[in-house]
Amino acid sequence: MTYETVATFAQQAGLIYFGLIFLAGSAYALWPRNGETFRQAARMPLDEEDL
């Protein structure tokens, strides 16, 4: 195994890994069941009372 082979494998594996992480995060954020939770979180700064 040469350095080039290992480097190519590591680059491709990293690309696939981070692509899957991105897709999982996007699916979680856009999943319909999570919509209300994110809407509430978005409204939190606006619903705060003055201190």
pLDDT exceeds cutoff 90 at 50: no
Q: What is the pTM of this model?
A: 0.68
Tens-digit pLDDT profile for residues 22-39? 999 999 999 999 999 999
At 49, phi and psi to the nearest 5?
-85, 155
Contacts with 44 (C-beta within 8 Å, 6 or more apart), sequence order: none
What is the SS3 string spanning the chain? CCHHHHHHHHHHHHHHHHHHHHHHHHHHHHCHHHHHHHHHHHHHHHHCCCC
